[in-house]
Amino acid sequence: MTTNTRVIEFNYILHDTLGEMIDQSEAGAPLAFLEGSGQIIPGLESVLLTMAKGDKREVHVKAEDAYGDRDETLVANVPLAELPTDQVKVGDMFRGGPEEEDPVMVVTAVQGDHVTLDANHPLAGKDLVFKVEITEIRTATKDELAHGHAHGAGGHHH
Ligand code: ZN
């Protein structure tokens, strides 16, 4: 069986719509993703798939095509006593359960003996602006297809 599924490597700088930088790939260390695997947000992937090696572009992604809208049901006001520590400040993060997949909750307020925890993705509800440059496009390996993610530099390490 042959496949045309590709692995795409790219550099990025991520800003919010006010121009404040949120994140960027490290110099000389582009991110790699397997086409169609859901490794990166859909609004960015759909544009990257149309680009060629060496192309540079600014990509505007609406929240709904990025990390989704905020869900206010994921915000909870809990007694401080339920947290693993009583030394809690705004910005602290707790995992919602013992599993790796359990959502990370951020402390957004501390009032008396209660704290507000927000399990939304930090970028939920935000429109995003990516400056991207495609550094490499290659055919995915059998292992990458079997695993559903890119390997090697910028990809998944086992
Ligand atoms: Zn793998």
Domains 6-67+124-147 and 72-118 belong to one CATH topology: no
The correct CATH number of 72-118 out of 3.90.660.10, 3.30.1490.20, 2.40.10.330, 2.102.10.10 is 2.40.10.330
Whole-number Å distance, alpha carbon 39 to ligand 1 midpoint, is 12
Q: Of 131, 136, 154, which Cα lies nearest the Cα of 13?
A: 131
> What are the residue ranges of helices labelled H in 89-151?
142-147
Question: Position of tokens 């992937």?
Answer: 45
- Do residues 62 and 127 touch, judged by C-beta distance below 8 A? yes
- What is the pLDDT at residue 3? 66
Over residues 100-128, the mean pLDDT reads 92
Q: Could you give the C-alpha distances from 28 to 31, 38, 90, 154, in angstroms and in order?
A: 10, 24, 34, 10
Whole-number Å distance, alpha carbon 125 to ligand 1 midpoint, is 31
- What is the pLDDT at residue 133? 98
Question: Position of tokens 């572009």?
Answer: 57
Question: Position of tokens 């297809």?
Answer: 145
**Number of CB atoms found within 10 A of residue 30's CB:** 20
- What is the pLDDT at residue 151? 95
**Which CATH number does 6-67+124-147 carry?**
3.10.50.40
Q: Could you give the C-alpha distances from 7 to 29, 48, 76, in angstroms and in order?
A: 15, 11, 40
Pairing of strands 6-16, 128-139: antiparallel
Annotated domain spans of the chain: 6-67+124-147, 72-118
Over residues 116-132, the mean pLDDT reads 95
Total-model pTM: 0.81
Q: What is the pLDDT of residues 14-73, one digit of tens each?
A: 999 999 999 999 989 999 999 999 999 999 999 999 999 999 999 999 999 999 999 999
Whole-number Å distance, alpha carbon 140 to ligand 1 midpoint, is 12
- What is the pLDDT at residue 2? 55
Whole-number Å distance, alpha carbon 158 to ligand 1 midpoint, is 7
Q: How far apart (Å, rounded) are the C-alpha atoms in residues 9 and 34?
A: 9
- What is the pLDDT at residue 132? 98
Collect residues with CB below 5 Å from ion ligand 1: 147, 156
Whole-number Å distance, alpha carbon 105 to ligand 1 midpoint, is 28
Q: How far apart (Å, rounded) are the C-alpha atoms in residues 150 and 40?
A: 11
